[in-house]
Amino acid sequence: MTLFDVFTMLGGLAFFIFGMGIMTQGLENIAGGKLETALKHMTDTPLKGILFGTAVTAAVQSSSAITVMLVGFVNSGILQLRSCIGVIMGSNIGTTLTSWLLSLTGIESDSFIVKLFQPTSLMPLAALAGVIFIMATKNERLKNAGSVLMGFAVLIYGMEVMSSAALPLTRADGYGKIINLLKNPIIGLIAGTVITGIVQSSAATVGILQALSISGGISYSMALPIIMGQNIGTCVTALLSSIGTSKNAKRVAVIHINFNIIGTVFFLAVYWIADAVFKFEVSHQNVTPLGIAVIHTVFNILSTVLLYPFIGLLEKSAFITVKD
């Protein structure tokens, strides 16, 4: 393990975040004003809000972008606070699509179809098509589609660079100490929160975790609190966007934080108790990229199911935190 391996790892992360940003911006440009119009008309009930939040975040691949948009709409009076709660819940589910796409890199098969649809196989094709769309056409929609394809290619390249750089990292003297630290769920939770808060992308944190899991050494019990922590860390973007806004807009950020903290505390406690009683064997097995995608999705779905009946209480908690 050398300093250059660390540089490579950080460079891969930079490519990953940059690719995610290009892809998200391209998707938002394709949606245009339709996204804002749809938000106004598809949030009149919490269930419709959840379904819409899931669908639009899966398309845009940025729960932070959706939450920031909600803060802006509530601040301008276009949306009511209660209308946003379902969308926030759905956005947490929709953002897990990235982890499913990245999990395909860990699938090994001799099947031509499986190999064709693996991200590493699609990456050069996406990059080629993206360059053609951007440089060979004047149509704005095609240019935006090209940006999406290029963003996807850069994102996957960053994932591959991080995975390659992680291999020497696992043989480093200090790697064992880091792994031992992450065996403490509280430290894992804090690590997931802090890293996501810094990079402001839960997808990037999950991508880093999936890259490390390919080289081994990360167990299911270690991955679980890190994934839960990144849900809390992604709230930083909403908090920053609410600075200088109305009290109701600030309450959107508070609801986002409360939703993620309550879900994390509840399910982490349930997991600890259940693991202590039943001694799950899978807890100590090495997690795979697919396993991380499953945990990421199941946790966010269960959090939504748990707190859906308490939407009114979430709204009240925001009013208690940010008083008139």
> What was the pLDDT predicted at 210?
85
Task: Please give the Cα distance from 185 to 225 (Å, whole number).
Answer: 6
Answer for the pair 202, 212: CB distance below 8 angstroms, yes or no.
no
> What was the pLDDT predicted at 17?
77
Half-sphere exposure of 95 (CA within 13 A, CB side): 28
The b/e string for 37-57 (b: 16+ C-beta within 10 A; e otherwise) is: eebeebbeebebbbbbbbbbb
Q: Identify which of 10, 24, 12 has the alpha carbon closest to the alpha carbon of residue 151.
A: 24
Q: Is 273 exposed, middle or buried (0-12, 13-18, 19+ CB in 10 A)?
A: exposed
Torsion of CA 296, 301, 306, 307, to 10 degrees: 100
Task: Please give the Cα distance from 259 to 86 (Å, whole number).
Answer: 11
> What was the pLDDT predicted at 243?
82
Only one residue has tokens 């748990």, namely 306
> What was the pLDDT predicted at 297?
93
Question: E strands of 42-113, at which residues?
Answer: none
> What was the pLDDT predicted at 106?
58
Q: Identify which of 23, 15, 19 has the alpha carbon closest to the alpha carbon of residue 158.
A: 15
Only one residue has tokens 């699609």, namely 122
> What was the pLDDT predicted at 88?
92
What is the widest separation between alpha-carbon atoms in the chain? 63
Half-sphere exposure of 168 (CA within 13 A, CB side): 13
Instruction: Give the CA distances from residue 103 to residues 5, 63, 78, 241, 244, in Å, rounded to whole numbers and listed in that order.
Output: 23, 19, 38, 31, 39
Q: Identify which of 311, 16, 324 has the alpha carbon closest to the alpha carbon of residue 166.
A: 16
Only one residue has tokens 């996957």, namely 156
Torsion of CA 277, 306, 70, 60, to 10 degrees: 70
Q: Identify which of 294, 302, 232, 221 has the alpha carbon closest to the alpha carbon of residue 260.
A: 232
> What was the pLDDT predicted at 225?
92
The ranges assigned to domains in the chain are: 3-321
> What was the pLDDT predicted at 111?
62
For the entire predicted model, the pTM comes to: 0.78
Answer for the pair 58, 190: CB distance below 8 angstroms, yes or no.
no
Total Cβ atoms within 10 A of residue 285: 12
Per-residue pLDDT of the chain (324 residues; tens, 9 = 90+): 567 777 887 888 788 778 877 877 787 777 666 666 777 677 778 888 899 889 888 877 677 778 877 888 788 777 788 888 999 999 999 988 888 877 776 555 566 665 666 666 778 888 899 999 999 888 888 888 898 889 888 877 887 787 677 666 666 666 666 767 778 888 989 988 988 887 777 777 888 888 888 777 788 989 999 999 988 988 887 888 788 888 888 999 899 999 999 999 999 999 989 988 888 888 889 898 889 999 999 999 999 999 999 999 999 999 999 887
Answer for the pair 320, 254: CB distance below 8 angstroms, yes or no.
no
Q: Which residues contact 175 (CB under 8 A, 6 or more apart)?
A: 1, 169, 217
Q: Is 147 exposed, middle or buried (0-12, 13-18, 19+ CB in 10 A)?
A: buried
Total Cβ atoms within 10 A of residue 196: 28
Only one residue has tokens 């849900």, namely 231
